[in-house]
Amino acid sequence: MESLRYCKVGAFLKSPKFPIWILGSETHLSVFFAKEMCLVAPESPSEQARRVFQTFDPEDNGFIPDCLLEEVMKALDLVSEPEYYLMKSKLDPEGLGIVLLAPFLLEFFPDQDTGIPDSFPVYHYNGLKQSNHNERVEYVQGSALVLGFEDPMVRTDDTPVKRCLQTKWPYIELLWNTDRSPSLN
């Protein structure tokens, strides 16, 4: 429901104890899961920075007004007065009055390893008969590829499942082992 902007899901639901997530649609719930326990590891410093930055960017535009930079830096314990003014001019060299998420993360967390593998097997289960291929209820297997914001996009598909998962992994790409992508409906 977060990808539809009906609500904002918290970190505990996005990082559960086991790598099992409930995906909501307008009509019912389905299950997305993986076997990689590292997918539910504690939040890394760069993931925390992304989350804090996004609290100051409620519309998920990928930028904040430069006047909020000091508050973001304070929330992440990154600020000292002279450093703040240097960062403001470094992160907004054109003087547009905005700070973009990608340069912010590159500046403060350049070599952060999230611990998430670049790719991993994933599974989706939709219990509705009419939502499955040949109306046979079974899970669908695929592969997830998690890119960094600086990596070129692969653009595998633009399905509700992918849009939902992008609320946790903004640069995820999915490759399913079937001819058609799984459905949330």
Give pLDDT tens digits for 124-166: 998 888 777 777 778 889 999 887 655 555 566 778 888 888 8
Mean pLDDT score, 63-68: 91
pLDDT above 70 for 91? yes
pLDDT-wise least confident of 44-48, 87-91, 128-132:
128-132
Specify whether the CB–CB gap between 43 and 11 falls below 8 A.
yes
Distances (CA, A) of 63 to 77, 91, 107, 109, 120: 19, 11, 14, 17, 30
Task: Tell me the two tokens of residue 2.
Answer: 């977060």
Write down the pLDDT at residue 112.
64
Give pLDDT tens digits for 165-177: 888 887 788 998 8
Give pLDDT tens digits for 93-132: 888 999 998 889 888 888 766 667 888 999 999 888 877 7
Mean pLDDT score, 18-41: 88
Percent pLDDT > 70 in the chain is 87
pLDDT above 90 for 20? yes
How far is the C-alpha of 46 from the C-alpha of 168, rounded, in Å? 13
Closest CA to 39 of 173, 169, 170, 149: 169
Q: Which residue's structure tokens are 């403060």?
A: 108
